[in-house]
Structure formats: structure tokens, C-alpha cells
Amino acid sequence: MAVQWQSELHEVNGVTTQVLTAGRGEPLMFWHGAGTGGGWDFLAPLTEEFKVFVPYHPGWGGSADDTSMTTVQDYVMHYLELLDLLKIGKFNLVGLSMGGWFASTFATQHSLRLKKLVLVAPAGLRVKEHPTADLFRIKPEELAPYLAENLAALGPPPDPHDVDFVVNSYREATSFARLAWERVYDVKLPKYLHRISVPTLLIWGRQDKIVPEAQSATWSKLIKGSTVKTFAPAGHLVLNEKPEAVKAIGEFLTA
């Protein structure tokens, strides 16, 4: 279903930030992962119940670069400012992959600002037995099978000879490298996840080849009272592949 996204630009502490919005209702913020290809129309069902905000992180999509943003905490601070600008008080937060890392870190510090939290295949934890894949080791032409079980759900593949696509992918990889070239987790996160005090849902594709579904046990142990829902067959981009996963988010947030 095509969503009529409205696009706005905000100056957030000097960084031009593009925010897409659609729908009506309580505010729901979706924080994307390390890639922005394919768009966000899989969120369509949520726009029926919520006003959905999809901000592009600095360094991604239509938001400007900020080379000084090198830690997850920089993104947490960025979003505190954006929330103030948008005059959003309490809100629902959904974070996917790298966005889940941001969202979980945000929640350890600002649970009072949240209604509920959803983490979809979140990055950010080191689970030695089930390590997160190193995205920098995966060749772009070999990436798609890492992302999904049903490749058709990702839409038509990008043209590798499209210079604009190549340049933007490089730019987003650069933003990701600033944050995660050395490691795609925060060794201290387990120490603080118990600070999350809002109802939390963890969503995973059971065949996730980027952040293995087996990590969900560690997350659910560390976030008290959280629940896990898994979907199969589905990979890392479970929300693209499984409409029922999006539906589960809606049900959790409205319950």
C-alpha cells in the first residue's frame, strides 16, 4: 500500500533533518537501520492508528551529514532535540536494526518519555555465541540474501551502475562506519538495559542472517517484562517480508 508521506526539514542543532510523516493519532517514531533503500511503505498499517514519524538519521537519506556524530549517544542527543522541536511529549518508539540500537539506548535514559518500545532485530548487543554479521565484510552484490528470505519482498534490486545510488550508498556506509567500523555493539549496553521501564516488544525474523534471532533470548533476559515475537520464514527485514509482524506491532502498541 502506497503511503502519502509528507516531508519536512528541521534544523536540529545545526543539522538539517528530513522527517517523513503520515497518518493520524498518537505519535509513533520509527528509527531506520543502516540502509534506506526501498522506502517505508511497509509501515502503512500503522499510519491508520498513529501519526508515524520517520526521521532520516544525520548522514542518511535526506538529512545532512554531521561528521562529528560518531557515537550512539550523539544520535540520542539529536533525537531529544528533534522531539522538542516537534513538540512531541510521550511517544511510541520503533527501532529497526541500527535504529534498534539507538532506540534501546534512548530508552535506557529516557523511558519516561516513552509509551512503549518495539525493537526489530536490534543491533547493539554483543552475543558471542551468535554474533551480529559484519556488514562491512559483505560485498554489496551479495547483500540481498543476507537481508531477506523472500527477495521479492524487497522490491526491484537497485541498479549497481546508477551513480547516484552508488554515491548515496557510499555516503550512508560512511555514516555507519563513523559509528560502527570497529564494532556494531556497545559493550556497556547490557549493564543498563534494565533501566528500560516501558512495555517492550522484540520482533525477529527467524532466519535473520544479520542479527541472529538467537540474540533475542539475551535481549529479553536483560529487558524485564519484554516479549518476543518471531516470524518465519523471514530474514533481517522482517517488516518488509511479513505484514503480520507489522500487525503485531500495531496490536502491541494499541493493547
Partner 1 sequence: MAKWQDDLQFYTFHFMHYTDLPADHKKYDSLWVDFSNKHFDARKGYDFYQRYMAEMVLADKLGYDGLALNEHHNTVYSLNPVVTLMAAALIPQTHNAKICVFGVPLNLEMPNRLAEAYAMLDVMSNGRLEIALPLGTGMEYWANSINPAVARARFREGLEVLLQAWTKDGPTAYDGEFFSYRYLNPWPRPMQKPHPKIAIVGTGSPETIQIAAERGYAYSSVFVPIVAQEKTFQKLKEEMPKYGHEFTPDKAIFNAICYVAETDEIAEQECKDHVRFFFEDATRTTARYLAPPGYISTEQLRLRAAATASHGSFDWDALTQQWRVVFGTPDKVANTLGKWCESANSSRVLVHHHIGNMPHWKVVKNMTLFAEEVIPRLRGKKTAAAAETRVPTGAK
Tell me which residues touch partner 1 (CB under 8 A): 67, 70, 136, 139-140, 163, 166-167, 170-171, 173-174, 176-178, 181-182
Residue found under cell 537497485: 158
Output 176-182 pairs: Cβ under 8 A, ≥24 positions apart: 176/34, 176/59, 176/98, 176/135, 177/136, 178/59, 178/67, 178/69, 178/70, 179/69, 179/70, 179/71, 179/72, 179/75, 179/98, 180/34, 180/98, 180/123, 181/136
Distance of closest approach, residue 68 Cβ to partner 1, in angstroms: 10
- Please say whether the beta carbons of 105 and 222 come within 8 A: no
CA–CA dist 77, 69 (Å, integer): 10
- Nearest distance from C-beta of residue 136 to partner 1, angstroms: 7
Measured from the CB atom, the residue of 69 and 246 that comes closer to partner 1 is: 69
If the CB atoms of residues 129 and 182 are measured against partner 1, the closer one turns out to be 182
Please state the closest distance from residue 173 (CB atom) to partner 1, in A.
Answer: 4
Q: Which is nearer to partner 1, 176 or 252 (CB)?
A: 176
Task: CB nearer to partner 1: give 180 or 203.
Answer: 180
By beta-carbon proximity to partner 1, the closer residue of 34 and 46 is: 34
Other Cβ atoms less than 10 A from the Cβ of 135: the count is 20
Cell numbers given for 60: 542518511
Q: Which is nearer to partner 1, 183 or 195 (CB)?
A: 183
User: Phi and psi dihedrals of 119, rounded to 5?
Assistant: -115, 120
Report H helices in 27-133.
44-47, 72-85, 98-110
Enter the C-alpha cell of residue 190.
547490557
At closest approach, how far in Å is the CB of 146 from partner 1? Answer: 15
Residue 204: CB minimum distance to partner 1, A: 27
Q: How far is the CB of 167 from partner 1 (least distance, A)?
A: 5
